[in-house]
Amino acid sequence: MTEDLAIAYAAFKRKRKQRLVEYAVLIGLQVIITVGLASETNPVFAVGFSVSAFGTAWSLAFAREQRRTLGEHSTKRLWGDTIESFGLMFFILTAGITAQFLALPRMGFMAHLAVIVLMYFLGSLSGELRWQQRLLFVLTTEEQINYIANLNRSIIFPYNIPYLRHVFGFGRLLEPSPKKAVKKTSANRQSTDETSSPSSDSSEGQ
């Protein structure tokens, strides 16, 4: 493993640890909500929604992980992530409006939505881990470093203001990345070498 890749994987371990902790918290809270509303669910609908939500989340996770192998400032990747996020919010909003329009029982709607969200979290986590296990280590070095640089540290707050500015054309991402860390390390090493060279030459002259 090259030094650049070693630096990137050190960052990857820190990011993955935080993401797993956040997934565990979100899934735990969602399990509590789902169990609390279990009496309001229809078993047949719940199973159907669960399979659909898990499968959708798994597919989206694979596509999302693949996009992360693109360049850090790839427009295709940034817009893909943004469209996915707003698409999910649009789905929840549309489902709520539809339930209100059809005068569906509010508690029943909330109970089935809780099932969908829980299975979505589980599908997203499973898809992400499976992709990393199967494909991450067979990528080229550049693609692996791109993936780690583009992997968000948090799943709860994945986007920040610099990110949104970049998406809408107002500037570049400002979040430190493994690529920047690699460049900084290389620059520091080069500066150290240049500083030590005159000292060595003067010592030889004496």
Q: What is the pTM of this model?
A: 0.74
Q: Tell me how far apart the alpha carbons of residues 200 and 194 are, in angstroms, rounded to a whole number.
A: 10
pLDDT digits (tens, 9 = 90+) for 16-69: 999 999 999 999 999 999 999 999 999 999 999 999 999 999 999 999 999 999
Q: In the structure encoding, which two tokens stand for residue 122, read together?
A: 């589980």
For the chain, which residues make up each domain, given as ranges?
3-190
Give the percent of the chain with pLDDT over 90: 50
- Return all residues near 82 (Cβ < 8 A) that are at least 6 apart: 167
CA 197, distance to chain mean position in Å, is 44
